[in-house]
Amino acid sequence: MFHYVQKNKIAESAVMGTVVVALCGEVFPVTRSPKPGSPVCPECKRIFDTLDPGKDS
């Protein structure tokens, strides 16, 4: 499943093994790329759709 996280945290997590926090609150390390066609977390999508479009997420 795809989760929305801050872009600047993805590479750091992949390299350093730190965890990221998705918009929905899910906490996980980035260990691999999601498979194309994976579903988007409905809670992340709902939150993302309410954010200011000029804001970096």
SS (H, E, C) 1-57: CECCCCHHHHHHHHHHCCEEECCCCCEEECCCCCCCCCCECHHHHHHHHHCCCCCCC
| Residue 1 located in a structural domain | no
Q: Domain span at residue 45?
A: 7-50
| Residue 55 located in a structural domain | no
Domain count, the chain: 1
| Residue 57 located in a structural domain | no
**Confidence at residue 53, expressed as pLDDT on a 0 to 100 scale:** 67
pLDDT tens per residue across span 22-41: 999 999 998 877 788 889 99
Instruction: Look over the chain and give the mean of its residue pLDDT values, rounded to a whole number.
Output: 87
Name the burial class of residue 14, with classes exposed (0-12), middle (13-18) and buried (19+) by CB atoms within 10 angstroms of its CB. middle
| Residue 41 located in a structural domain | yes
